[in-house]
Structure 1
Amino acid sequence: MKRIEEFGEISSLIAPYMKKGIMSNNFMVKDGYEAYIGAGDLYYECSDSTLILLLDCRTHWRIFYHIKGLEAGIVLPADKPLVMELVYKNENEAVVSQLDFWGSRGFRPYIYRQRMNGIPEKLLLESAGKGQHAVKNAACKQAGQIRAMIAEMFDPYLGCIPSLDEVLEYINKEEMLVSEDGSGSILGVLHIGSKNSANFVRHLLVHPDARGKGIAKGLLAHFARSVSGQGDGRIQLWVKKDNISARGLYEWAGFKYDGWQSTGLIKNP
């Protein structure tokens, strides 16, 4: 396993696999590569038929792959859990083949998600967010609490848990919204983002003691109103298939499934 030292290495590694028929789950973009390489966290293993990118997430390895054939041999570390995510539209033969390929190598599916889209003007949120709980941009002093809440309520492997420094960066970019009670205690958190004309819900959570009080609706309403009229105003998110309460909220709000889904795989040492 070799560490990738500079961004230029990526092009030469991936170039042989940029052709039809290659199996891949690699959806990283330039910014992602640069951040991981700069932190010294991106490694690779390659052979004549495979390229495996390994992201060191401290507690686990995250796998991104390019594979030319299902007979390919794979060499992977065994010192901590290995996780990966396959993103696809409709479960076709190619997806099933890849799931079987990794299943024969000790990986098992453990998390399933679906993608949803909504247009703020169509969201049924006008009456939400007008209650007693204020929604505002998070403050830097709240970063530790926000990070702890996200880490507690999202999957430790594929839940995209941000570091404390990343939370501070999001706060400075006004991408962290919080809902507070009268004493300033955080009741809910909405982590948002945007790229081109699309807006994203990255994390949405409500403290267990505050559920059923319209906190999540209020956070979504605030976000929807803030992006209304910007580009096409679309908001996109991913939701776990088995998170019935979250799915119910998004469906009520007017979000629609667009056919894209993902399967998360894990292999424990």
Structure 2
Amino acid sequence: MNFLQNPSSLEKYILEQNLYYISDKDNLIILVDRDTHYLGYYYLIKEDNNFNFSIDKNIVFEYSYNTLRYDSSIEDILNKMNFKELNNRTSLSLDLNNIDRNFDFEKIDNSFLDEIYNCILENFNPYYGCIKRKDELLKSIENNEIFPHIDYNELVGFIEFSKKRNIFTIDHFCVFNKYKNMGYGSKILSSFIEYSSCENIKKIDLFVLDNNISAINVYKKMNFKETKIKSKIFMKEV
């Protein structure tokens, strides 16, 4: 992040990305404003400085790391600022063989926005992963980054995902409560894998909570493999 060396460039970038920052002496924290908390985007902390700050919502930082290169000093700095470890996540990945054919899934419009937003809130801890604001989720719908499963003329479940180069990342995978334990989870994931293969995607990535054994088992049945990437989530309460 070379723009940090240029304060005017940093301020311009922050405004464009709708970010917030707190600074004190040589310390800096950049935050993304979420409905329920601030999500840590970047920080630069001098270990020998006491960085005391007050803010109106909880702050969540996620430290992703390769298990072969874990840096305990990052955790030490967060602990000094009274961040507490909240939970741990494991990365899983699926390498794909591309299929040369079309896959047209049933795209949805913004009339499903509230339904999708509420399902994510009901099924995910707001401090785990990146739960988007409604305006951000609306963009996901408009960009066809919601993969839905419709049955009985109703939205049964969906996968919210993002694309970077030739990789899909699953951000949230939801089945509505009244359709759980009916086999829809495997159906939706299998269809999404097929769609990804048709889109020349090379890999599907995701993070899952370490204690969510049922979800991990579903992914592994679909040949997802654990990677060496883990994450720790820390929170500072107001």
TM-score, normalised on structure 2? 0.84
Residue type of the alignment partner of 1:42: Y
- Paired residue type of 2:171: R
Cα 1:227–1:61 change in 2 (3 A) is closer
Distance 2:161 2:80 in 1: 37
CA distance in structure 2 between the partners assigned to 1:93 and 1:142 by the alignment: 41
Within-5 A mapping of 1:33-48: 37-38=15-16, 40-48=18-26
CA contact (8 A) 2:190 2:222 kept: no
Query: Cα–Cα, structure 1 residues 181 and 215, in superposed 2: closer, same or farther, change >3 Å?
Result: same
| 1:147 maps onto 2:123 in alignment | no
CA distance, structure 2, for counterparts of residue 117 and residue 13 of structure 1: 38
User: Which amino acid letter does the alignment assign opposite residue 259 of structure 1?
Assistant: K
Could you tell me how far apart the structure 2 residues matched to 1:168 and 1:93 are? Answer: 36
The residue aligned with 2:147 is 177
Question: For 1:91 and 1:81, how far apart are their aligned partners in 2?
Answer: 30
Name the counterpart of 2:74. 98
Q: Please point out which of 1, 12, 30 is paired with 2:6.
A: 12
Match of 1:51 in 2: 28
**What amino acid is the match of 2:60?**
V
Shift of 1:230: 4.4
2:58 corresponds to: 81
| Letter matched to residue 239 of structure 1 | V
Instruction: Give the secondary-structure state (helix, strand or coil) at the position aligned to 1:228.
Output: helix
Q: What does 1:206-245 align with in structure 2 at a 5 Å threshold?
A: 206-228=175-197, 230-231=199-200, 233-245=202-214
In structure 2, how many angstroms separate the alpha carbons of the residues matched to 1:87 and 1:101?
Answer: 15
> Identity of paired residues, percent?
24
Q: Give the alignment partner of residue 84 of structure 2, picking from 91, 108, 121.
A: 108
Report if the CA contact (8 A) 1:137-1:175 is conserved.
no
One-letter code aligned to 1:220: L
In the other structure, the counterpart of 1:62 is 39
Out of 110, 119, 131, which is 2:95 matched to? 119
How far does the alpha carbon of each residue in 1:196-227 deviate from its partner, in whole angstroms, 9 at most, with x for none? 11111111011222122221222222221122
SS in 2 for 1:137: coil
Q: Is the 8 A contact 1:41 1:57 kept in 2?
A: no
CA positional deviation for 1:234: 0.7
Q: 1:247 to 1:97 in 2, by over 3 A?
A: same
**Equivalent residue of 1:99, what SS?**
helix
**What's the CA shift string for 1:210-269, capped at 9, x where partnerless?**
122221222222221122154452111111111111101111111111110111111212
Task: State the distance in 2 between where 1:154 and 1:186 align.
Answer: 18
Residues 230 and 85 of structure 1: CA distance in aligned 2, closer, same or farther (over 3 Å): same
Give the conservation status (yes or no) of the 8 Å contact 1:85–1:262.
yes
Q: Distance in 2 between matches of 1:221 and 1:37?
A: 40
Describe the shift of the 1:54–1:166 C-alpha distance in structure 2 as closer, same or farther (beyond 3 A).
closer
Q: Provide the rounded CA distance (Å) in 2 between the counterparts of 1:52 and 1:92.
A: 23
**Contact in 2 for aligned 1:81/1:266 (Cα 8 Å):** yes
Structure 1 residue matching 2:221: 3-state secondary structure: helix
The structural deviation recorded for 1:44 is: 3.0
Q: How far apart, CA to CA, are the structure 2 residues paired with 1:173 and 1:121?
A: 24
Whether the 8 Å contact between 1:153 and 1:205 is mirrored in structure 2 is yes
Letter in 2 for 1:110: L
Distance 1:267 1:86 in 2: 14
